Amino acid sequence: MPVMPNPVRCLLPAAAGVLVLLLAGCATTPPPIQPAFNLVVDPAYAGASIQVDLVGVNASEVARWRTKSVNDYFSPGDPFRATAERKSFLMGPDGEDAPVLAANDPIWQRWQRRDVSFIVVLADLPGYMEDREGAIDSRRLIVPLGGDRWDRARPSTITLEISPTGVSSIPAPVRGDS
């Protein structure tokens, strides 16, 4: 006599497959952020001119920017600076007081075409500073744009504070720049 298949036995693999698909959908990475950036200079730099560049870099470039000499970058004729997809701000007596990179600035379109996933902030602060790699050089801040690097309240605006201790962001990402 032929054995009839057990309906539970047939449905179990199908249910497991649907469950796997549903859980995979929950694990998707949030889209990247595209915030406005406000730049604020500490009163300690009153009267000083400070150059700040926001450079869009993709995942394949970030390691080079982490080790790039900030002193060389701001030297005349530096090839990194000459070819960088950047937005530059001059703050202080000769420049803007409260510069903003708007979330709808045309630079974002150029950065999106290049699959930019980090903004490297470089500040040319007054006085001599020794070059260091990565975050040890306080004149450099690498801001990740990956949606998974920020808490659930994804920022629409990030304030970049330029102070004698370096560049910092408010809010800060919940995961670092690597």
The residues that bridge with 40 in the sheet, in sequence order, are 161
pLDDT > 90: percent of the chain: 54
Does CATH place domain 36-170 in 2.60.40.4150?
yes
Pick out the chain residues at pLDDT < 50: 8, 10-12, 15-25, 178
Question: Contact, 32 vs 145, CB < 8 A?
Answer: yes
Task: Record the tokens describing residue 169, joined without a space.
Answer: 């962001």
φ, ψ of residue 28 in degrees (nearest 5): -70, 150
Mean pLDDT of the chain: 83
> Which residues does residue 131 pair with via DSSP β-bridges, in sequence order?
none
What is the dihedral sign for C-alpha 109, 59, 170, 99?
negative
Give the span between the Cα atoms of 96 and 48, in whole angstroms: 12
Residue 5: what pLDDT?
Answer: 57
